[in-house]
């Protein structure tokens, strides 16, 4: 239990969810949520040839998205939600969910993020640098191989089953699935 608490304190991320009613223009009570990682669902606009940045992906989380909750004022179900990160711990875990459901099956999205390994992230005035990444090699969830890249003394190493080799971070972060940042 103590160990679990320690892990929580290292990785827990807090979010504020703002909801507004489109019908009566009333702001709903702000919800405070927490999770072990930031989930980024990659949408079509970030796929294919679009080279984007990690900051753009995080900013997209703040965009207003439609919600079917019920307005406490007028009981309408036409609302919008926006999520912002309110606080983070020393380690920040980002899950780049590279799968979308298409024709009842999962399709992998081909994300391209430029220069991710050298781009620090700023969240609520804290600066984070990329330390590790988990990569997904394969077309879907079941037929895949996972490996890790980890930075040690400014050199990137690939941990792939039992082998550890020096290996640069992919230029456009192809196949990156989970990112681990450390506060500096």
Instruction: Write down the least CB distance from residue 29 to Zn ion, Å.
Output: 13
Site for Zn ion, rule CB under 5 A: 21, 23-24, 26, 71, 73-74, 76
E strands of 42-90, at which residues?
51-52, 65-67, 79-87
Instruction: Write down the least CB distance from residue 22 to Zn ion, Å.
Output: 8
Q: Which is nearer to Zn ion, 24 or 155 (CB)?
A: 24
Instruction: Write down the least CB distance from residue 21 to Zn ion, Å.
Output: 3
Instruction: Write down the least CB distance from residue 127 to Zn ion, Å.
Output: 40
CA 151 – CA 157 distance, rounded (Å) = 6
Backbone angles phi, psi at 116, to 5 degrees: -65, -35
Instruction: Write down the least CB distance from residue 86 to Zn ion, Å.
Output: 25
Q: Which is nearer to Zn ion, 55 or 76 (CB)?
A: 76
Residue among 145, 144, 115, 118 nearest 131 (CA): 118
Q: Which is nearer to Zn ion, 35 or 66 (CB)?
A: 66
CA 151 – CA 4 distance, rounded (Å) = 25
Tokens of 160: 């792939």
Q: Which is nearer to Zn ion, 23 or 119 (CB)?
A: 23
Q: Which is nearer to Zn ion, 7 or 24 (CB)?
A: 24
Instruction: Quickly count helices (H) and strands (E) in the chain.
Output: 2, 16
CA 94 – CA 129 distance, rounded (Å) = 12
């Amino acid at each position: 239990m103590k160990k679990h608490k320690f892990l929580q304190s290292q990785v827990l991320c807090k979010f504020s969810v703002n909801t507004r009613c489109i019908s009566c223009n009333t702001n709903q009570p702000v919800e405070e949520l927490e999770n072990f990682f930031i989930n980024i669902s990659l949408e079509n606009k970030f796929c294919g040839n679009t080279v984007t940045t990690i900051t753009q992906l995080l900013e997209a989380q703040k965009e207003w998205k439609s919600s079917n909750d019920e307005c406490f004022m007028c009981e309408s179900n036409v609302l919008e939600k926006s999520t912002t990160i309110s606080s983070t711990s020393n380690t920040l875990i980002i899950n780049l969910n590279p799968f979308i459901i298409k024709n009842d099956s999962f399709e992998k999205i081909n994300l391209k993020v430029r220069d991710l390994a050298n781009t620090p992230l700023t969240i609520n005035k804290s600066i984070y640098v990329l330390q590790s990444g988990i990569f997904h090699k394969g077309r879907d969830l079941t037929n895949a191989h996972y490996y890790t890249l980890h930075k040690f003394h400014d050199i990137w190493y690939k941990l792939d089953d039992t082998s550890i080799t020096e290996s640069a971070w992919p230029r456009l972060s192809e196949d990156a699935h989970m990112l681990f940042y450390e506060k500096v």
